[in-house]
Structure 1
Amino acid sequence: MSTSAEPPAVADDETAPATTPPSSSSRVLIVWTGVLAALVLAADQLTKWWAESALVANAPTIPVVGDLLGVRLIYNPGAALSIASGYTWILTIVVVVVVVFIVRAIGRIGSRGWAVALGLLLGGAVGNLVDRLAREPGFARGHVVDFIDYAGFFVGNVADIAVVSAAVLIALLSLRGIGLDGKRHTDEEPADKADDSARDDQGDPA
């Protein structure tokens, strides 16, 4: 006579997995994304410190690899290639929005590839954001330190390298159909088709 009280307990057990916390592998990916971002930020700021200590602003380029690569210190008020140099405030706001978006996206990460991409992107974005917030001529109007001269076409820094690398990696992951959660978009199609066929079977008359 006591068996009538057992089904509700079974139902409670069936709903328990829905409230389980994120897996340990996801937490590891989040941690490593943050570690990579911190390493990129440190490398960017240390190399900028070296450039300001060892180079003279706006001096001729010092060759490192022939005419292909050199070092030359400049202060860039704009974006890459000195674009939008008169809109430093707007660029700062855009970078802040990007950083907030990346931080929120990291919580849903489930792929090592995306962990690397977002770590590089976050570290690079914060690296240049630090310059805009802390350097002259003032808060949110600071000029970014650039010192890597690419054959005279443009001058960049370590943060730029990280951002470009992240963009390439994100493009490759997208082309392969790998989502932020680590699942391939094509992997979801069979399940969707199975659900559709199950609905069709249920709708057919016996």
Structure 2
Amino acid sequence: MNGMTKLGGMGLALAALVVVADQAVKAWILTGLNLPQIATLKVLGPFYLTMVWNPGVSFGFLQAQHDLVRWALAAFSIAVAVMLAVWVRRTERPLFAVAVGLVMGGAVGNVIDRIRFGAVADFVDVSRIGFFPWVFNVADSAISIGICLLLLDMLRQDGRERAAKTAGDAA
């Protein structure tokens, strides 16, 4: 099969949807709500909107205080997104397509911020719950969910391969 599968196209479309949603929410946070001026806004219970400019990768890991690191992280994110796009094109596994679409979209959403602002706009704050101290955004959420789904897909695929091998050995 040389072309893109329907599921591959779905994965790419989901990535585009994540980018649009992430950037739309960030535009509202930055300009509509003007969160950089407000700093923190209580929404409901332990859920706050808190403006954090994250120069690192997801959840503040690997801080990029220098421009060289910023551009290296941007280039790495773009490379990962391109590799995932190539990888997902021919998939026949729905869960894999969704997972890769989420990771790609999240990576591109955050790289747009890194290029535009020099840091990623984070604002979802549930740190008052006590066990999750990070402030994050829509793109980070998509990446995290996508990675969990990738792991689940790998486990399912391994299980199918073991079952096929067992059935083949029994025959």
Same fold at TM > 0.5: yes
TM-score normalised by length of structure 1: 0.69
1:40 and 2:9 correspond: no
1:175 equivalent in alignment to 2:151? no
State the 1:78 CA deviation: 1.2
Aligned to 1:146: 122
Indicate the SS of the match to 1:57: helix
Q: Give aligned-pair identity as a percent.
A: 33
Aligned length: 162
Question: Residue 34 of structure 2 aligns with which residue?
Answer: 55
Q: Which runs of 5+ in 1 are unaligned?
A: 1-20, 137-141, 198-206
- CA distance in 1: counterparts of 2:39 and 2:89, whole angstroms: 45
Larger radius of gyration: 1
8 Å CA contact 1:30–1:107 kept in 2: the answer is: yes
Structure-2 residue corresponding to 1:88: 70
> For residues 155 and 38 of structure 2, what CA distance do their matches in structure 1 show?
42
Q: TM-score, normalised by structure 2?
A: 0.82
How far apart are residue 55 of structure 1 and its match? 2.5
1:170 shift after superposition = 1.1
Letter in 2 for 1:99: A
Structure with more helix by fraction = 2
Mean alpha-carbon deviation: is it higher for 97-106 or for 158-167? 97-106
Q: Using the alignment, how far apart are the partners of 2:72 and 2:2 within structure 1?
A: 37
Q: C-alpha offsets along residues 74-123 of structure 1, whole Å, 9 cap, x if unaligned?
A: 22111123222223233223212211220121123110111110111111
| Greater RCO, 1 or 2 (C-alpha within 8 Å, sep 6+) | 2
